Structure 1
């Protein structure tokens, strides 16, 4: 189901990412807080081309330390394990999608108490992952926070397989309900009137970037999470890196002017990490059509991932502090 990643690091003690994140195929459930896995399904129309980001993500680990100076936390107390990449079929996209779905289901079943982080690839992997999670927990309601410039709710028959539209497919299949989807970061001239109308009909919550900046990012995200926690059993976050302004994500094919700043994305992900109801996350579309990923785009994605971990660490610390105070009383 999983193959060893192209980039592997020798396991040794230290505070750099490649030293404290473990790379292991079958870790014991009690030894894992967060699971990382990759899906090499690419946006490119060439079926033989693999997504670059999962490998590039791992290659820059030595550049990052475990300590978040801004928040005064060390992430090494979190047990983060990289289990490798899903074994996909380069010449058969449908088989590849099925493999990603099966991998997500397997991880959700084998590690029910762990957070999962999927690295893509194009946005197809989000739909595959969510279907797998739903297979593992068929009775649970799943909510989606989609950080994206686009609604990704286009008619599948019109766009074909090369540019998948996972939200429309998930709703049509009954995997999620539109009213349990919150799209954050919408702006500008990048969604058709038909898509907007479809989103309204399905009850999708559309939170524009202008609205979020006006009301305050922290207030908006906290209120969104509060609402979702009452509505669903678990929350899935999809981070489409085209939500970033094009100056911060030069290799993301659909990045646009006027998107999120790096600081705004980092702040959002820290807040999301602080909410235990968010069990799954993916990072997609750092996947140029041509050429290689530039270091600035890769490092942007890695920092975003570490901000999410920072939120998880802060939540753990706050829970421990609350428990300790209760015992003292």
Structure 2
């Protein structure tokens, strides 16, 4: 017996025959699948130095893809290829350092499948970038474009490997070189002088929000992408949502004024993704439990689509 007019629970979403929602592109990974794009979730937020429910962000960002279609009216591009979804890396409830090693091992396996040309990693707090970049840097030289209000160069003696330390650890462990790290959006009254000095001493290139306003995001990225492309095998893009002004990211644990607007960030991600060496991106620091109408998760989903669009125009 069939039930008339009944849809499966959780799938009772309006369907327009001419419209494909971005979430419909998600396809569970199976051995042998090969497509342009993939996604993996890293639901870790316990190393955060402030209250954070960022462990819930991977699912929230995937759900937010339902808010968008696959068609770019500005470019005429239709995103048609499935996105291979590797699911989420397992997180132990209490073992923080063990979790960070599991992220490294898990993402090493994900990258080693070669199932996609372009990778999108959904955090989680920013501590996950250490493990992801370490896994990605196997047998290659990696440069990093970091959109962030913070340097994330804190010392590890005061708190261990928190979400404020990933790039300090990458530099101290010689996984990346300071001259191959570019930080964009660093904000006033948000960092300590000691960490600016550490950045300077290690050759890190730092652009403040004032630099972004004066020079423009595209001009900055054009210069730095050209410089990095001549020095590294691949460029990894790390998008910390707290680079945005609090008006655009209410679901970010470290909200604050004076940040980037969402249009500027999206333009930057799109422009950077057009570079052939930018093939991997993470999105971090979203707490869905404090978000308003999923605004911040929707920004993250739009960042994913901008990255994909940049690879197809």
Match of 1:58 in 2: 62
Match of 2:256 in 1: 256
Match of 1:317 in 2: none
Distance 2:237 2:251 in 1: 22
Match of 1:299 in 2: 298
Matched, 1:18 2:23: yes
Matches within 5 A, 1:66-77: 66-76=70-80
The worse-fitting range, judged by mean Cα deviation, of 291-300 and 246-255 is 291-300
Displacement of 1:294 = 4.1
- Is the 1:186–1:208 Cα contact (8 Å) retained in structure 2? yes
Match of 2:44 in 1: 41
Distance 2:50 2:188 in 1: 30
Instruction: Summarize the Cα distance change of 1:256–1:27 in structure 2 as closer, same or farther, 3 Å threshold.
Output: farther
- Is the 1:286–1:293 Cα contact (8 Å) retained in structure 2? no
Displacement of 1:48 = 12
Q: Secondary structure at the match of 2:238?
A: strand
Matches within 5 A, 1:300-319: 300-314=299-313
Greater RCO structure (CA 8 Å; 6+ sep)? 2
* 1:149-179 residue CA offsets vs partner (Å, 9 max, x unmatched): 1110011112334444100001111100111
Match of 1:189 in 2: 189
Instruction: Summarize the Cα distance change of 1:173–1:293 in structure 2 as closer, same or farther, 3 Å threshold.
Output: farther
Q: Secondary structure at the match of 2:112?
A: helix
Instruction: Summarize the Cα distance change of 1:182–1:45 in structure 2 as closer, same or farther, 3 Å threshold.
Output: closer
Displacement of 1:50 = 6.8
What is the aligned counterpart of 1:115 among 100, 114, 118? 118
Identify, as 1 or 2, the structure richer in helix.
Answer: 1
Displacement of 1:187 = 2.3
Match of 1:85 in 2: 88
Q: Secondary structure at the match of 1:114?
A: strand
Distance 2:35 2:265 in 1: 26
Normalising by structure 1, we get a TM-score of 0.84
Q: How many residues align?
A: 299
- Is the 2:119–2:279 Cα contact (8 Å) retained in structure 1? yes
Distance 2:156 2:304 in 1: 30
Matches within 5 A, 1:231-242: 231-242=231-242
Instruction: Summarize the Cα distance change of 1:89–1:9 in structure 2 as closer, same or farther, 3 Å threshold.
Output: farther
Distance 2:52 2:221 in 1: 39
Q: Which runs of 5+ in 1 are unaligned?
A: 1-7, 315-329
Distance 2:94 2:293 in 1: 27
Instruction: Summarize the Cα distance change of 1:88–1:206 in structure 2 as closer, same or farther, 3 Å threshold.
Output: same
Q: CA RMSD in A?
A: 2.4
- Is the 1:42–1:287 Cα contact (8 Å) retained in structure 2? no
Match of 1:5 in 2: none
